[in-house]
Structure 1
Amino acid sequence: MGSRARARRAAAMLGFLGLLCAVLGAVMIVMVPTLIKQQVLKNVRIDPSSLSFNMWKEIPVPFYLSVYFFDVVNPSAVLLGEKPQVRERGPYVYREFRHKSNITFNDNDTVSFLEYRSFQFQPDRSHGLESDYIVMPNILVLGAAMMMENKPMSLKLIMTLAFSTLGERAFMNRTVGEIMWGYEDPLVHLVNKYLPNMFPFKGKFGLFAELNNSNSGLFTVFTGVKDFSRIHLVDKWNGLSKVKYWHSDQCNMINGTSGQMWAPFMTPETSLEFYSPEACRSMNLVYKETGVFEGIPTYRFVAPSTLFANGSIYPPNEGFCPCLESGIQNISTCRFNAPLFLSHPHFYNADPMLAEAVLGLHPNPEEHSLFLDVHPVTGIPMNCSVKLQLSLYVKAIKGIGFSRLFCPSGFPLNRKLGKKKKLNPGKSKSLKMETHPTGILKCDSSLCGRNILSPDIPFCFALFPCRIVALPRYNSHTVTLTLFKRTTR
């Protein structure tokens, strides 16, 4: 009898424990997503007390900027009216250092800051040196010639005489370092003396000279402390709620974030909007697919085919005109009226006649498309490949002698292999979340600096030096985390 009673008590105890586990499991399934959401909301906002603040202030992973130049193979033939032929040189890779300063919290739930950046050449990552010579269009000469198109003939003749006297040519042979960071040119001094408002710079001229040891303007963004629905959205840039470069209110709007973080809890219907000071406009990326980056699920966002479309193809872009063929954006209004155009590399996703006008261009989506991989729960970018091309539009200008046989074309100058950054293995591991069949949360205490939920709850948030090795499903998809990219192998 005694053994039977003990067996019944043991069975009852096991049954009770089973019921308790079932109840606790049900509670965990209900409570854990809520706890996750609460802690994400608490720790991704811009607040000195949040655990992500230092990461926002100074992003803890390296940026790399890869630049390719289009070396003109046949400059003499171009002057005789033939198609330009180019060969791509590079990449020339630069480590970009960024840090925010002048951080000021305002009463309207916003924070203002300047983000400074500097660049350092990385010869071990580059295919070439800064001392390499590149033959490319003389941007100052050809740009000045295009700006003379509607000027009086007398002024054109004076400009032509100045070109000849100063020994200026339509094409130049300069080093990568000079093209990037600046070179002395007598034309700059002459123009600044007699036409002081024509060029916005003094002394040296370089494609990236204004970017080095500089900031991209004063951003004021919402912190999300009082109103989380507006977190990271830009309130003003340089004190402006909209820019004045374009010809429509829609194109002048400053939309989205500053391009570093977005609101958490994304869905496939979410789009990524951000304002780019370099492009002088807001841009919008659209969801393409779900993916995995180093074991971490992500949403991939890509540029829509209409990003650089002209107004005839996509009417909302009419405000960016005057336009040429679809697929290149005229940025002359925010680049001292020089005939500069922005596009995808090799005129990918543009009117085919643009690539056909220049020999040596081979657009393809694998190499030249733009994408951004973002962790949907936190809104943090993990893998970024922003690829853009800068081109100079040239054509024959009556009264400018050397241009008389030019064929109208968009002359590609260089392309940036975006700014990619990638987490190192340690940080990537700290972000990784995996689904465990039981839904039980475990924390590797050797990796955790602190528990951000509660000392009593065995949970670690992957934005920080912790690892979640088990996690139940959240909103019908596996939760995992993310940061930015640039190949660092």
Structure 2
Amino acid sequence: MKKSNQQQQRIAIKLLIIVIIGGILFCKFTDILILALQTQICITSEPLNDFTKKWKDPPLPITIDAYLFSIDNPEEFSNGRERAKLREFGPYSYRLEIHKDIIGFENDEKIVTFFDVQKFYFRNLESPGRLNDRINVLNFPAYALANMVRNMIASLPFSFGLNPLAFSFVSFLYLLHGESMLIKQNLTAGELLNGYPFTILDTIDRLAGPLRLFGIELPDTGMPENKFGFLWTKNGTRNGPYQTYTGQDGTDILRMVTFKGQTLLPFYDNDQCNALNGTESSTFGLNVHSDQKYYVFTHDLCRSLDFVYEKSVWINGLFTYRFGPARDAFAPPSKKPFNRCFCQRMDNENLCDGLFDISRCLNGAPLAYSFPHFLFANSEIRNNVENMQPSEKRHKAYIDVDPITGTPFNGADKIQINALLEPIPYLNGFSNVRSTILPLLWLQKSAKIDNKLTNELRLALYPIYLIYFIIYLLFFGSLALFTLHIARWSYQSYKEQTTNVIDPDIQKNPPSRSDSTEPIISAATAAAAAATTSGMNI
């Protein structure tokens, strides 16, 4: 029995060692894996590693779908008699190419400086919308220019007296160039997206020539070659420069350091809102957790946006976490105090509920972002116009990322661009319109891994999944065997003790005849048996 116990102990010790090893691997496998991945998932200089090549020129096919809003009652809306009755056109589908133009490295290659360059190409065969569709839209460049003039006059002394004179001159210029109407009718979708000449800027450039001799520069209109178009102003432009960490030597991969040479944005009155939180949107970083909030800096939004976990999904056989922008991302200060510095309309917080005014980072251009069809926005904003039909399924943005590498596998970024429209007194054609947050268009940028990239990722990730599964089986399997062995050994020990051990009290004090009748009967039975055995007759 002693030999058997020793054998059982040896088995238990071996199983316990396996359990401990499996437990350490199970708990520390992710940390070990991240340490190994840090040498591969990082931005490097020459020679470029595989991650850097795919980051510079993303292999995922990316599309931009533009949905335009046409005003079906242009005259009634311009005169202030009716709300804008909107009709959605599109989508107009474009292929998007993104290229990172690396400028250089700093701090022993821990920081990389680069520009983000985007180019759009119309997908003629795949696009449901046609570029020759006729649309009635806000004459936004004319309105934005007039709004800029109004703001300039407001900053001068005796501005009230200057308004009639200044806007009489602006009205003359608009009439001369055919820009005297608030709503531009029968504009094609191609002109609105790809750009059309705004000739009044050519005249203003000529008139401003003498001012430049005295060092007076007019504000940048943000219209390259004096053309206006929602994709034209972005097509081929170099956004940045960005500075981010490279991920080398344990730094957080692609976490923001500076934007345009500044560690803080200059647009808001609070450092929290001006902070460059999170990454530059190419990744969430290594080892993504479902219980954490992640920030992504977007130059179009002029701020960092927070993303929260929604659910786990499988994409082409690959496990991912789905994140989406928080529902309160554009909430007013009363619902989200952090957003106080983003809200410029403190007199009516409802106009900050679901709307983000970006005019401060666009040289005063009266634009605001929201989710498409004013999803999650206050009803006061949505009821400014007619025919808004928000739907989470259709209009909510999302991104599916690999939990290990933080790399996006699938996603759709959805944002709506709105004009902050107010009447401009003394300007013909712009003075009677009602104050309105007017949707102009919404954009969906989407990407999904194709079969080729899926196969490459499987080759890279499936061995990791297999190792993790083996460690999982090792730990929980050995723990189960150890538990069963201990239970079986304990049961066998208990059984042996109850069958083999005699009560010591009985050995020390054997019962007398007078103690019980049972011993007498037993003795008699034994005597009879002995007599029978020896052949004696009774």
TM exceeding 0.5: yes
Give the deviation of 1:405 after TM superposition.
Answer: 2.8
- 1:37 and 2:34 equivalent? yes
- Flag the 1:275–1:469 CA change in 2: closer, same or farther, 3 A: closer
User: How far, CA to CA, are the matches of 1:367 and 1:191 in structure 2?
Assistant: 43
User: How far, CA to CA, are the matches of 2:370 and 2:77 in structure 1?
Assistant: 22
User: How far, CA to CA, are the matches of 2:78 and 2:101 in structure 1?
Assistant: 48
Give the deviation of 1:89 after TM superposition.
Answer: 0.8
Give structure 2 stretches of 5+ with no counterpart. 1-9, 154-162, 209-217, 346-350, 474-538
- Helix, strand or coil: the match of 1:43? coil
Name the residue aligned to 1:146. Answer: 147
Name segments (4+ residues, structure 1) moved above 6 Å: 19-26, 466-469, 474-477
Give the deviation of 1:379 after TM superposition.
Answer: 0.8
- Flag the 1:363–1:476 CA change in 2: closer, same or farther, 3 A: farther
Contact 1:112 1:220 in 2 (8 A): yes
Contact 1:149 1:398 in 2 (8 A): no
User: How far, CA to CA, are the matches of 2:470 and 2:297 in structure 1?
Assistant: 31
Name the residue aligned to 2:313. Answer: 291
Name the residue aligned to 1:225. Answer: 248
Q: Residue by residue, what CA displacement relative to the aligned partner does 1:327-386 show, whole Å, maximum 9, x if unpaired?
A: 111111111212111110111111112221211211121111121111111111111111
- 1:106 and 2:93 equivalent? no
The equivalences for 1:188-337 within 5 A come to 188-194=201-207, 196-197=218-219, 199-201=221-223, 202-228=225-251, 230-323=252-345, 324-337=351-364
Contact 1:130 1:177 in 2 (8 A): yes
Matched AA of 2:33: I
Contact 1:429 1:467 in 2 (8 A): no
- Flag the 1:22–1:431 CA change in 2: closer, same or farther, 3 A: farther
User: How far, CA to CA, are the matches of 1:431 and 1:313 in structure 2?
Assistant: 41
- The counterpart of 2:174, out of the listed 163, 178, 184, is 163
Contact 2:38 2:250 in 1 (8 A): no
Residues paired across the two proteins, number? 429
Name the residue aligned to 1:126. Answer: 127
- 1:62 and 2:58 equivalent? no
User: How far, CA to CA, are the matches of 2:416 and 2:305 in structure 1?
Assistant: 16
User: How far, CA to CA, are the matches of 1:21 and 1:429 in structure 2?
Assistant: 38
Give the deviation of 1:25 after TM superposition.
Answer: 9.6
Name the residue aligned to 1:397. Answer: 424
- Flag the 1:475–1:278 CA change in 2: closer, same or farther, 3 A: farther
Name the residue aligned to 1:427. Answer: 453
The equivalences for 1:343-354 within 5 A come to 343-354=370-381
Contact 1:42 1:50 in 2 (8 A): no
User: How far, CA to CA, are the matches of 1:337 and 1:290 in structure 2?
Assistant: 41
User: How far, CA to CA, are the matches of 2:306 and 2:246 in structure 1?
Assistant: 21
Q: Residue by residue, what CA displacement relative to the aligned partner does 1:168-187 show, whole Å, maximum 9, x if unpaired?
A: 12111322222122211222
- Flag the 1:315–1:60 CA change in 2: closer, same or farther, 3 A: same
Give the deviation of 1:420 after TM superposition.
Answer: 1.2
User: How far, CA to CA, are the matches of 1:146 and 1:197 in structure 2?
Assistant: 12
- Helix, strand or coil: the match of 2:38? helix
Name the residue aligned to 1:91. Answer: 91
Name the residue aligned to 1:438. Answer: none
Contact 2:115 2:240 in 1 (8 A): yes
Give the deviation of 1:31 after TM superposition.
Answer: 4.4
Name the residue aligned to 2:136. Answer: 135
Moved more, 255-264 or 35-44: 35-44
- Helix, strand or coil: the match of 2:240? strand
User: How far, CA to CA, are the matches of 2:471 and 2:232 in structure 1?
Assistant: 47
Name the residue aligned to 1:481. Answer: none
TM-score by length of 2: 0.73
Matched AA of 1:53: T
Contact 2:280 2:297 in 1 (8 A): yes
- Flag the 1:249–1:23 CA change in 2: closer, same or farther, 3 A: closer
- Flag the 1:89–1:467 CA change in 2: closer, same or farther, 3 A: farther
Moved more, 256-265 or 185-194: 185-194
User: How far, CA to CA, are the matches of 1:24 and 1:49 in structure 2?
Assistant: 41
Give the % identical residues: 25
Give the deviation of 1:237 after TM superposition.
Answer: 1.5
Q: Residue by residue, what CA displacement relative to the aligned partner does 1:284-340 show, whole Å, maximum 9, x if unpaired?
A: 111222222222222121111221223344332222231334111111111121211
Please, what is the CA RMSD of the aligned residues? Answer: 2.9
Give the deviation of 1:167 after TM superposition.
Answer: 1.8
Q: Residue by residue, what CA displacement relative to the aligned partner does 1:7-41 show, whole Å, maximum 9, x if unpaired?
A: xxxxxxxxx9xx99998898577548265333322
Q: Residue by residue, what CA displacement relative to the aligned partner does 1:259-301 show, whole Å, maximum 9, x if unpaired?
A: 0012211212222212111111111111222222222222121
- The counterpart of 1:472, out of the listed 468, 474, 486, is 468
Q: Residue by residue, what CA displacement relative to the aligned partner does 1:36-78 show, whole Å, maximum 9, x if unpaired?
A: 3333222212235654222222211111111111011111121
TM-score by length of 1: 0.80
Matched AA of 1:295: G
Q: Residue by residue, what CA displacement relative to the aligned partner does 1:82-112 show, whole Å, maximum 9, x if unpaired?
A: 1111111111111111222234221251111
Structure richer in helix, relative to its length: 2
Matched AA of 2:136: V
Give structure 1 stretches of 5+ with no counterpart. 1-15, 433-447, 449-460, 478-489
- Helix, strand or coil: the match of 1:421? strand
User: How far, CA to CA, are the matches of 1:53 and 1:163 in structure 2?
Assistant: 50
Name the residue aligned to 1:10. Answer: none
- The counterpart of 2:404, out of the listed 377, 391, 399, is 377
Moved more, 246-255 or 88-97: 246-255
Contact 1:192 1:199 in 2 (8 A): no
Contact 1:348 1:368 in 2 (8 A): yes
User: How far, CA to CA, are the matches of 1:473 and 1:26 in structure 2?
Assistant: 17
- Helix, strand or coil: the match of 1:216? strand
